[in-house]
Amino acid sequence: MSRRIQSIRGMHDILPPDSGVLRNLEQTLQAVLQQFGYQEIRLPVLEHTELFHRSLGEVTDIVEKEMYTFEDRNGDNLTLRPEGTASCVRAGLQQGLLYGQAARLWYGGPFFRHERPQKGRYRQFHQIGAETFGLTGPDIDAELIIMCQHMWQALAILPRVSLEINSLGTVQARQRYRVALIDYLQQYEDALNDSEKQRLHVNPMRILDSKNPELADIIGDAPSLIKYLDPESAEHFEGLKALLDAAGIEYRINPHLVRGLDYYSKTVFEWVVPELETQATICAGGRYDGLVEQLGGKPYPAAGFAMGLERIMALLEKTRFSDMEIDAYLVVVGEQAVEAGMEIANQLRNQASSLSVVVNCGGGSIKTQMKRADKSNAKLAIILAEDELRDDTVGIKYLRDKREQETIPRINLMSYLNEYLGT
Residues that bind ligand HAM (CB under 6 A): 83-85, 113, 115, 121-122, 125, 127, 129, 131, 260, 281-286, 288, 304-308, 310-311
- Closest to ligand HAM by CB, 290 vs 308, is 308
Report in angstroms how near the CB of residue 127 gets to ligand HAM at its nearest. Answer: 5
CB of 304 to ligand HAM, least distance (A): 3
- For ligand HAM, the closer CB: 90 or 379: 90
- Output the CA torsion sign for 30, 32, 35, 36: negative
Nearer to ligand HAM, 141 or 196 (CB): 141
**Amino acid identity at 191:** A
Strand partners, 383: 331, 395
Residue 121: DSSP 8-state = B
Greatest Cα pair distance in the chain: 92
Closer residue to ligand HAM in complex, CB, 308/341: 308
286 backbone φψ class: left, alpha, beta (φ>0; ψ -120 to 50): left
CA distance 124 to 66: 11
Taking the alpha carbons of 202, 208, 209, 214 in that order, is the dihedral positive or negative? positive
Residue 284 Cβ vs ligand HAM, minimum distance, rounded to whole Å: 4
Report the candidate in 103, 24, 39 with the shortest Cα–Cα distance to residue 300.
Answer: 103
Of 57 and 308, which CB lies nearer to ligand HAM in the complex structure?
308
Closest separation in Å from C-beta 263 to ligand HAM: 8
Compute the least distance from the CB of residue 194 to ligand HAM, in Å: 23
Cβ distance to ligand HAM smaller for residue 20 or 117 = 117
To ligand HAM, the closest distance from the beta carbon of 300 in angstroms equals 14
Q: Which run of H or E residues covers position 340?
A: helix 335-351
Element (H, E) at 236: helix 231-246
